[in-house]
Structures are given as structure tokens and as C-alpha cells.
Amino acid sequence: MAAPRYIADPEGALACVALDGLSVLFHAPSGMTHIVAPPAPEILAALREGPADVAELLARLQAHYDFEDEIGNDVVAARLDELEQAGLVRRA
Amino acid sequence: MSGTDDSKAQAGDLVPSRRTVLFMGAAAASTVVTIRPALAQTAGSVLNCEIPVPGPHAAGNHIAADGSLVAPGTPGAAPPLARPLRGEEARVLLRGSTPPGVNPQSAQAYANYIRRLQSGMSGFTCYASLQMPR
């Protein structure tokens, strides 16, 4: 079975305010407001480049960021799961 | 967070001016907290808010069929309600039905009284909340 691919809404659908390490996101399509910690905003930005599965998303993040520890797909999948539950990303 | 530029880079851009260490969190940790929309949050309180009929400013007055306040004994006027209407009861009244415990012959007068409520009058906030789309 192919790995699920995820996509995020375009930047215009989100109003984002950075607050000292956290970000407040207003997701206009759902009318929901979320308080998110890193790496949620970074994942959303990476997914705006286009749909990606877990491995591809991790590669995109690694292209731009360093990580404190070695990051496994399970951590990225966990982040995507919670973003999907919040309605901020969806399966492509 | 060391400054505004860093904040912007982390929040929106995928090309920070220098490589940033990104904390991914533990697999079991949560990084998203969803705030329920204000209207969804107030849905319960709207149903439980209260509208006195009439309000304290007109205690003792009766309610004419058009919702205006009239002196006790005025023919056709409805007596004050013994207890305030709850939001849900007011909603039923405004739809033209009669909630339990309300005299059906007086229901129209009470509904019109509620429709005449203005800002600053007891029960107005509750009435206004009932008007909001849900």
C-alpha cells in the first residue's frame, strides 16, 4: 500500500501570529483557531510546496533545518496525524 | 526566540536566513491545541441564559399583546412570568410555539416583549445571542 500523501491549504487560508515560540493559527476554511508549537508551522509551510508523504516531508524539512536528534518517520507521522486531526492538513 | 526576524522565518518561510534547529517533539507529545470556535463554546450558555419578562425595570407591569408594558388590569394583557425564561424557552417562544409552563394565550405577548428588548435591558444579551447563527 502506498504511503499516504498529505497536503495543506494555501497560505491565504491561514492567519498566523508567532508568539514567543508558539504560533496562533486561524484556519479560515474551518473557522477554527489553533495554538501550535514547532514544528507545526514549518510542516505546514513545507506541505505548501506540494503534496508529500512522510519521507518526502522529512526530506524537505531536512533541506532547511537542522535537528537536535535524529528524526524518524514515526515522529513526522505523529506530527502529521495531529495536524490532520486538527483539520490543518488532509490526505492528498 | 531571539527576535522578530526569526519568528517570521519560523512561522512562514521555508528559507530561513540561517539554518535553524527545529525541535520535532516526541512522537507521543502533542504540538497542536485547538480552540473551539466562540460560537460553539457559547452554545450551551445561550440555551441557559435568562430573560425576565418583564425585566426588573418594569416589575409588576403586565405585557400587552404587542409586547409593550401596560398597567396591571389592562384588558387582554398578560401577567408577568413567575420566573425568567431560559434561552431555549425564549427560542421556542420566538418561533411561535409555547414552552411548557407558559399560558398559550400569553405566549405572543411574551414573544413580542422579547423582540422589543434593547441594549441595556435585562435579557437583551440573551436575546441577541439567540439571534446569532449557529
> CATH number, domain at A77?
3.90.930
**A1 assigned to some structural domain:** no
Please determine, for residue B65, whether its predicted confidence score (pLDDT) is greater than 90: yes
Cα–Cα dist A42/A13, whole Å: 16
In chain B, the largest separation of any two C-alpha atoms, in whole Å, equals: 82
**B32 assigned to some structural domain:** no
For every residue of A52-68, DSSP letters joined together read B-HHHHHHHHHHHEEES
**A82 assigned to some structural domain:** yes
Q: Using the beta-carbon criterion (under 8 Å), do A66 and B19 form an inter-chain contact?
A: yes
Put simply, whether A12 touches B (Cβ < 8 Å) is: no
Q: Complex ipTM, two decimals?
A: 0.76
Q: Using the beta-carbon criterion (under 8 Å), do B13 and A68 form an inter-chain contact?
A: no
Q: Using the beta-carbon criterion (under 8 Å), do A66 and B24 form an inter-chain contact?
A: no
Please determine, for residue B4, whether its predicted confidence score (pLDDT) is greater than 50: no
Task: Report how many Cβ contacts below 8 Å link chain A to chain B.
Answer: 104
Do B106 and B112 contact (CB within 8 A), yes or no? no
Please determine, for residue B9, whether its predicted confidence score (pLDDT) is greater than 50: no
Put simply, whether A15 touches B (Cβ < 8 Å) is: no
Domain count, chain B: 1
pTM as predicted: 0.51
Considering chain A, what is the average pLDDT of its residues?
Answer: 89
Split at pLDDT 50, 70, 90, the class of B3 is very low
Lowest-confidence region among A52-56, B3-7, B99-103 = B3-7
User: Coil, strand, or helix at residue A91?
Assistant: strand
* Residue A34: predicted pLDDT: 86
- List chain B residues with CB under 8 Å of A49: 14
Put simply, whether A31 touches B (Cβ < 8 Å) is: yes
Cis peptide before B52 (omega within 30 of 0): no
**B46 assigned to some structural domain:** yes
Rounded to a whole number of angstroms, the distance from the CA of A26 to the nearest CA of chain B is: 10
Which domain range does residue B52 map to? Answer: 38-131
**A44 assigned to some structural domain:** yes
Q: DSSP assignment, residue B119?
A: T
* Residue B1: predicted pLDDT: 42
Pick the residue of B31, B33, B41, B132 with the most A CBs within 10 A to test the interface with A by mutation: B31
